[in-house]
Structure 1
Amino acid sequence: MSVWDDVVGQEHVIDTLRAAVAEPRSMTHAWLFTGPPGSGRSNAARAFAAALQCENPDERGCGRCQACTTTLAGTHADVTVVATEQVTIKIDEVRDLIGRAVRKPSTGRWQVIVVEDADRMLERTTNVLLKSIEEPPPQTVWLLCAPSSQDVLPTIRSRCRGVVLRVPPVESVAALLVSRDGAEPEVALEAARAAQSHIGLARRLARDAGARERRDEVLKIPAEVASVGEAVIAAGRLVEVAQAEARSATEERDAEEKGALLRALGAEAGETLPPRLRSQVTELEKDQKRRATRYQRDVLDRAMLDLLSLYRDVLVTQLGAEVELVNTAHGATVRMLAGRSTSVRTIEQMNAISTARERLGTNVSPLLATEAMLVELCP
């Protein structure tokens, strides 16, 4: 067992990080982990953080010592992980990180700060971070994660050492699901293939039968939508499902957070609060609304990615390419869609899905973006 076990299909990255841990005198104090969604950027950054803190001099990153286990569990005193559940990382959060970065390690070998969603920082927020990354204290290491180097400001990426992850092989992801999550081999392979090697999505599909059913329903839409009216109805249904998932995922947590805040303020639920306390509750509710908005958009984005994988299979079939389908269980739908259009039309439909995903990221109404996409998918 080692901290690198969950860094699947990234041997070249593991070699680079191991070499850095082994030679601390040449250690880079700012790293940028990039790679497509699901490639394991966050896993690699956390594993690197654990190896930096490892107490075993003969095997840095042993995965057994207290430093390794607490880092991977998220409880190490000298490892801070920021993973926002909102649309953007707030500037106050970054200021807190900068304050933490100047401290000396209390128990570990390094003060490590992991920012899992560096691409979600606005430009003014990133500028606040720049000075700390440019001239960090001797024992501070910044680990930033983003889909690509273009998703962070040039001033940031020029001061970081880049680590590029690739999409892991389907077989490697399936093997991980079998060994770590106890999934059945057939289910694991189908989940890894459907998720296109996205480790997080593959795990969700392998462990949650409901998630697999919802995905199947999404992939039925192109075959069932034959007119503009049907497209508008299907879009409304898709957005309603996303809203329901967001509510079910956040309602209980929102209530617990609000109750905890009221107790901390010495107030009871339903009690009228004085203005000086009401502002804190209002701020919490705004944060919760942002979190729900992001969750809804993430659900819709996953649905669009599933549709994109379906039309990829349609295009592969139309071109007669000898490659394996992503959605093997939906072969009949793929063949039907391939037979009723041309490869040029399929590319147009894939572009429509990609455009809808971009619109979701620019505060366009989710319903309008989804409607426009499904109208383009009509035959």
Structure 2
Amino acid sequence: MESAPIVHELPWGDVWGQDEAVAQLQAAASDPASMTHAWLITGPPGSGRSTLAYAFAARLIAGDGDGVDHVMRQVLAGTHPDLTALRTEGVIISIKDARALVERSYFSPSLGRYRVIVVEDADRMTERTSNVLLKALEEPPERTVWILCAPSDADLLPTIRSRVRTLRLRDPEVADVARLIVQRTGVDPAVAEQSARLAQRHIGMAQRLATDAASRTRREQILRAVLGVRGVGDAVEIAGRIVQAATEDAKALTAERDEAERASLLRTLGVPEGAAVPPAVRGQVNALEDEQKRRATRSLRDGIDRVLTDLQSLYRDTLMLQFGRDTDLINRELEQDLRALAAAWTMQRTLTVLDQITLTRSNLEFNAAPVLALESMLITVASGRTP
């Protein structure tokens, strides 16, 4: 017997390539008796886990009564009173934010069937923050649903994992992502394929690469520069270039938004454009600026992390060539250089560099100075030995 086709309508219209997950959540939302009140949606960056979480939240809150579409649109826009969402743009989720979520979780739904708490990037919770959520996840009120999102269940504490139902999203193929990028942007299919491959199937990053030639050029320049590292002097120079490029990228992504937020806050506080900020409201402006600084730090770290992901793909390709496999290279445009590197290096040296990239990522998560962490990593690239 064939299963019924999935209808991709509101709220599922923006969920792409996850038919099995959509079917599972649709079934859960339609059968309150089998509902689980704490979910963990996992998937690689760009797989759509947050999009799916909000679609599920919309369906849970709206139910099947009158005005369903209107309620769903409110939820998807983030304006429904029964939705509480935490989208942290800092390095970590604070205990204060976690406590606020727990407090909200004990409120009864005001209009919808359920109160839904969505936590994006739940992997950014420290152990102490995770412990704040434990009891609320274990014994939530009857009509409260928690939806956590993270790259993998391994990114959360075992005590959290034991209290949630995990839904793992599939990793899309390069060809699938390329087709989606063509549909969304109209770019040349060859550019879309290259971008999807270089982004390692991360949909958002693939779209950015496909529509921004400067981003593609900058990526290639950084990888070629790293391939040319021969000593400590090169390591210092290239580390500085990577941090500078990530800093400029972060500023470009946040500057316009920061200014708009500040202008909006000042209008709300009744401060005329161009006027000095009165002492009475300076605290609120300072609080906004502090939040923007935390967001800028996260954006910088994310930019450097993206470079580390690109470097992992570079040395992954090198290792593949050392094993005699050349049919699934990510960085095909650099194949000639990678073949030369694969011939010059031992497999052990390549593995040492890959291990050091992983260690660098971990060190940055623990607030290591970006330039120093990258310098250390690039010295390993130059020497084949950890400092």
TM over 0.5: yes
Matched, 1:225 2:233: no
Shift of 1:16: 2.2
Equivalent position amino acid for 1:19 in 2: A
In 2, distance between residues paired with 1:349 and 1:123? 29
Is 1:234 equivalent to 2:238 in the alignment?
A: yes
**In structure 1, what residue type is equivalent to 2:37?**
H
In 1, the alpha carbon distance for the partners of 2:64 and 2:186 equals 29
Report the identity percentage. Answer: 50
| Residue identity in the other structure for 2:58 | A
Residue in 2 aligned with 1:197? Answer: 201
Shift in alpha-carbon separation, 1:67–1:261, aligned structure 2, 3 A = closer
Once the two structures are TM-superposed, the CA of residue 4 in structure 1 deviates from its matched residue by 4.0
CA shift for structure 1 position 5: 5.0
Q: Bigger CA drift: 239-248 or 131-140? A: 131-140
Where structure 1 has 5 or more consecutive residues not aligned to the other structure, the ranges are 58-63
Give 2:153's aligned residue: 149
CA 1:342 to 1:7, structure 2 compared with 1: closer, same or farther past 3 Å? farther
Q: Deviations over 1:34-64 (max 9, x none)?
A: 233333321221232233245668xxxxxx9
1:126 and 2:130 correspond: yes
Higher mean alpha-carbon deviation, 10-19 vs 143-152, is at: 10-19
Q: Distance in 1 between matches of 2:79 and 2:212?
A: 27
Deviation at 1:23, TM superposition (A): 1.4
Q: Distance in 1 between matches of 2:63 and 2:40?
A: 25
- Secondary structure at 2:358's aligned position in 1? helix
Gap change, CA 1:367 and 1:322, over 3 Å in 2:
closer
Read off the aligned partner of 1:161 and give its amino acid letter.
R
**1:182 & 1:56 partners in 2: Cα distance?**
37
Q: Which amino acid in structure 1 is aligned with residue 22 of structure 2?
A: I
Residue 19 of structure 1: aligned partner = 27
Q: What's the counterpart of residue 114 of structure 2? A: 110
User: Who is 2:295 aligned against?
Assistant: 291
CA pair 221-6 structure 1, distance change in 2 beyond 3 A? farther
1:362 CA displacement = 0.7
1:265 CA displacement: 4.4
Q: Secondary structure at the match of 2:23?
A: helix
CA–CA distance in 2 between the matches of 1:56 and 1:182? 37
- Structure 1 residue 273: deviation in Å? 4.7
SS in structure 2 opposite 1:65? Answer: helix
Deviation of 1:145 (Å):
0.9
Residue aligning to 1:32: 40
> Which amino acid counterpart does residue 150 of structure 1 have in structure 2?
A
Give aligned pairs, total: 372
Given the alignment of the two structures, is residue 100 of structure 1 paired with residue 104 of structure 2, yes or no?
yes
The answer to whether the 8 Å contact 1:38/1:167 transfers is no
Q: Distance in 2 between matches of 1:272 and 1:203?
A: 40
Length-normalised TM-score, structure 1? 0.88
Residues 315 and 5 of structure 1: CA distance in aligned 2, closer, same or farther (over 3 Å): farther
Task: Provide Cα deviations, 1:346-378, integer angstroms capped at 9, x if missing partner.
Answer: 111111211111111110000001111111112
CA distance in 1, matches of 2:275, 2:245: 30
Q: 49, 59, 76: which one pairs with 1:51?
A: 59
- Runs of at least 5 residues in structure 2 that lack an aligned partner in the other structure: 1-7
Q: Is residue 214 of structure 2 the alignment partner of residue 210 of structure 1?
A: yes
**Which residue, 248, 253, 276 being the options, matches 2:252?**
248
Residue 370 of structure 1 is aligned with which of 340, 365, 374? 374
Per the alignment, residue 343 of structure 2 pairs with 339
With the length of structure 2 as denominator, give the TM-score of the two structures.
0.87
The whole-number CA distance in structure 1 between the counterparts of 2:375 and 2:263 is 38
Conservation of the 8 A alpha-carbon contact between 1:79 and 1:112: yes
RMSD over aligned Cα, in angstroms? 2.5
Counterpart of 2:170 in structure 1: which amino acid?
R
Whole-angstrom CA distance in 2 between matches of 1:182 and 1:140: 42
Q: How much has 1:161 moved relative to structure 2?
A: 0.9
- Asked whether the equivalents of residues 218 and 307 of structure 1 are also in contact (C-alpha less than 8 Å), the reply is no
Distance 2:191 2:59 in 1: 32
Alignment of 1:161-176 (within 5 A): 161-176=165-180
Judge conservation of contact 1:111–1:140 (CA < 8 Å) in 2. Answer: yes
Match of 1:61 in 2: none
State the 1:8 CA deviation. 4.1
After superposition, the Cα gap between the structure-2 partners of 1:270 and 1:68, relative to the gap in structure 1 and judged at 3 Å, is closer
- Partner residue of 1:60? none
